[in-house]
Structure 1
Amino acid sequence: MNVHNASQLVGSKPEELVPSRYAVRVGEIDVLVVSDGVLPLPTQMLGHNADPAVRAAWLHDMFLPADAFDWALNVVMVRSGGQTVLIDAGLGSDPDLHLPRAGQTVKRLEAAGIDLSSVTDVVLTHMHMDHVGGLLVDGVKERLRPDLRIHVAAAEVKFWEAPDFSHTNMPQGFPDALRATAKRFASEYRDNLRTFDEEHEVAPGVVVRRTGGHTPGHSVVRVASGGEALTFAGDAVFAVGFDQPDWHNGFEHDPEEAARVRVRLLRELAKTGEMLVATHLPFPSVGRVAVDGDVFRWVPAFWDY
């Protein structure tokens, strides 16, 4: 995979009117952030425990619609030590939930000149459908290597055997779709799964670490080389999480623990100054975290053309 070539628009189809991939170099490791598209979701999902008036004021101050808006959906490709690692796989096919503008990962990898057969490893931050669905698209498994390694926390696989949605706050239809997708994924890829308990080095300088919170096995991935680092936070951080880290996201299975995980992670990143990428921050979501007391601030990176 030549990430530097992949960062150019050569091969993009005419309908691709906005950038959908962004290349970053972390020491000697190549990182490519790829947009899977966007998910139109209710704004209540950003903080269902917040006072509606306070939530409305935050949305107004951020120039966001009051009822629903498009959440970004990002995945990451990493090249290190001869391994090509895909971190999360996007939504895949629309599970009858009216999410037509997501599920673009496979198409956009192809547009970047990346062959699915070159992927040696997949890391899943968790098994929600917008993170595993891309692997379930018709024809994808046949194009992947038979010896593909899929790294996921053991606690995550265990959770989806009998998932608990009692603390979530999702739109109708989502729990059933999440259950069905996770069950199908575990069945189809069982022989490829490589589970870990707390931490595992996937490739040189690429370490996945379980955080819990969002789901019991939710994990983040840290890429480090040559004194530089980037953390892919998965769903530990949402756009509202810098200003209101204690707001509960509707998809969090343990929202109180998720808030604790979020604060710890943001403090870590503010201390180290390393780059942050997250699933649902606006593409390409590359930036850093600043902190002043209990207040965090998102500092987007200047695009490097």
Structure 2
Amino acid sequence: MNLQNTSHPDRQGSDELVPSRYALRIGEIDVLVVSDGVLPLPTAMLAHNADPAVRAAWLDDMFLPPDAFDWPLNVVVVSSGRQTILIDAGLGLDPDLHLPRAGQLIKRLEAAGIDLAAVTDVVLTHMHMDHIGGLLVDGVKDRLHPDLRIHVAAAEVKFWEAPDFSHVSMPPGFPDALRAAAKRFRKEYDSQLLLFEEEYEVAPGVVVSRTGGHTPGHSVVRLASGGDRLMFAGDAVFPVGFEHPDWHNGFEHDPEEAARVRVRLMQELAATSELLVATHMPFPSVGRVAVAGDAFRWVPVFWDY
């Protein structure tokens, strides 16, 4: 499947007025970033350990609203060799959370001409609901290939047997929804899970590595081909984390370790100049990391038309 051919919207597609997919190549690997939509969340979740006045000043500097704003949701489809790999699966549909602008992945894959049955592998950076929910949408499992392989860190699966929410700072309802989604996911897909400990090569040039921090089994996916490199960092990186990598995100189950992971990854990205894509960076979330004094700077790529 050549994902480069999916970057241009078909005339029979939706009437959305904003782009929702962006194609690029990493050497011989085709990559498609797909927006799963956005979900509104309290701005306090960006940095629940920060001084509220300092956090408010950062939001004002970024021209963001003070109380709540739309978090982007990005998913990546990769074609390497004969494998088509879905990295994370978006939010899906949870009517109890009232998030109508999220959970767009399945229809946007269809609009891009990607057949769910052609997906050979799924890689999960972790098992939060906004990364597994698309696989739980009614009818999706029946459309997937029966031999689909789902790769996830063993530590992640173990964590969700009895998850610890004592260090998070989430809106009401989210912990219960996350627990329920993870439990349902295990019930639906347990027989298709392929667990790895620290690192695993999913396809030529596609390697998933456990980082921990955000969740115990949180992982990143590194693509490398022909001298080009890209990292999909999942939830290790958030927009505020460049200037304030020590600020704790409300969804982090181990905030201190998550901050250490964030700094380590961004130091690596700044040193190598490789491309970065992350779940909650503004779409299309393709850019590089530069060092800015004691912090970092996000450098988005120029769109390639």
Tell me the TM-score normalised to structure 1 length.
Answer: 0.99
In structure 2, the residue matched to 1:153 is: 153
Please tell me whether the aligned partners of residues 80 and 203 of structure 1 are also in contact (alpha carbons under 8 angstroms).
yes
CA distance, structure 2, for counterparts of residue 280 and residue 30 of structure 1: 21
Matched length: 305
CA distance, structure 1, for counterparts of residue 127 and residue 227 of structure 2: 31
Deviations 1:254-300 (A, max 9, x none): 00000000000000000000000000000000000000342200000
1:60-75 matched pairs, under 5 angstroms: 60-75=60-75
- The aligned amino acid for 1:76 is V
Paired residue secondary structure (2:185): helix
In structure 2, the residue matched to 1:247 is: 247
Please tell me whether the aligned partners of residues 206 and 223 of structure 1 are also in contact (alpha carbons under 8 angstroms).
yes
Deviations 1:176-199 (A, max 9, x none): 000000000011000100000000
CA distance, structure 1, for counterparts of residue 15 and residue 63 of structure 2: 27
The change in CA–CA distance for 1:266 and 1:117 in structure 2 (over 3 A counts) is same
Of 199-208 and 12-21, deviating more is: 12-21
CA distance, structure 1, for counterparts of residue 294 and residue 12 of structure 2: 43
In structure 2, the residue matched to 1:59 is: 59
CA distance, structure 1, for counterparts of residue 118 and residue 270 of structure 2: 35
Deviations 1:163-187 (A, max 9, x none): 0000000000000000000000011
In structure 1, the residue matched to 2:189 is: 189
Please tell me whether the aligned partners of residues 60 and 66 of structure 2 are also in contact (alpha carbons under 8 angstroms).
yes
Stretches of structure 1 that go unaligned for 5 or more consecutive residues are none
In structure 2, the residue matched to 1:28 is: 28
Give the C-alpha shift of residue 98 in structure 1: 1.7
1:1-305 matched pairs, under 5 angstroms: 1-11=1-11, 13-305=13-305
Of 11-20 and 239-248, deviating more is: 11-20
Please tell me whether the aligned partners of residues 11 and 111 of structure 1 are also in contact (alpha carbons under 8 angstroms).
no
Which runs of 4 or more aligned residues in structure 1 lie more than 6 Å from their structure 2 counterparts after TM superposition? none
Give the C-alpha shift of residue 4 in structure 1: 1.7
Deviations 1:33-84 (A, max 9, x none): 0000001000000000000000000000000000000010000000001100
Give the C-alpha shift of residue 13 in structure 1: 3.1
CA distance, structure 2, for counterparts of residue 14 and residue 216 of structure 1: 38
Of 11-20 and 237-246, deviating more is: 11-20
Paired residue secondary structure (2:170): coil
Give the alignment's Cα RMSD to 1 decimal. 0.8
Paired residue secondary structure (2:97): coil
Paired residue secondary structure (1:151): strand
CA distance, structure 1, for counterparts of residue 12 and residue 162 of structure 2: 41
Paired residue secondary structure (1:34): strand
Give the C-alpha shift of residue 2 in structure 1: 2.3
Please tell me whether the aligned partners of residues 95 and 177 of structure 1 are also in contact (alpha carbons under 8 angstroms).
no
Paired residue secondary structure (1:114): coil
- The aligned amino acid for 2:99 is L
- The aligned amino acid for 2:46 is L
- The aligned amino acid for 2:129 is M
Paired residue secondary structure (1:96): helix
CA distance, structure 1, for counterparts of residue 174 and residue 292 of structure 2: 37
Paired residue secondary structure (1:182): helix
Paired residue secondary structure (2:96): coil
- The aligned amino acid for 2:26 is V
Please tell me whether the aligned partners of residues 14 and 111 of structure 2 are also in contact (alpha carbons under 8 angstroms).
no
- The aligned amino acid for 2:92 is G
CA distance, structure 2, for counterparts of residue 84 and residue 68 of structure 1: 36
CA distance, structure 2, for counterparts of residue 112 and residue 140 of structure 1: 16
- The aligned amino acid for 1:192 is Q
CA distance, structure 1, for counterparts of residue 98 and residue 270 of structure 2: 37
Q: Provide the identity percentage.
A: 80
Please tell me whether the aligned partners of residues 39 and 101 of structure 2 are also in contact (alpha carbons under 8 angstroms).
yes
Please tell me whether the aligned partners of residues 206 and 222 of structure 2 are also in contact (alpha carbons under 8 angstroms).
yes
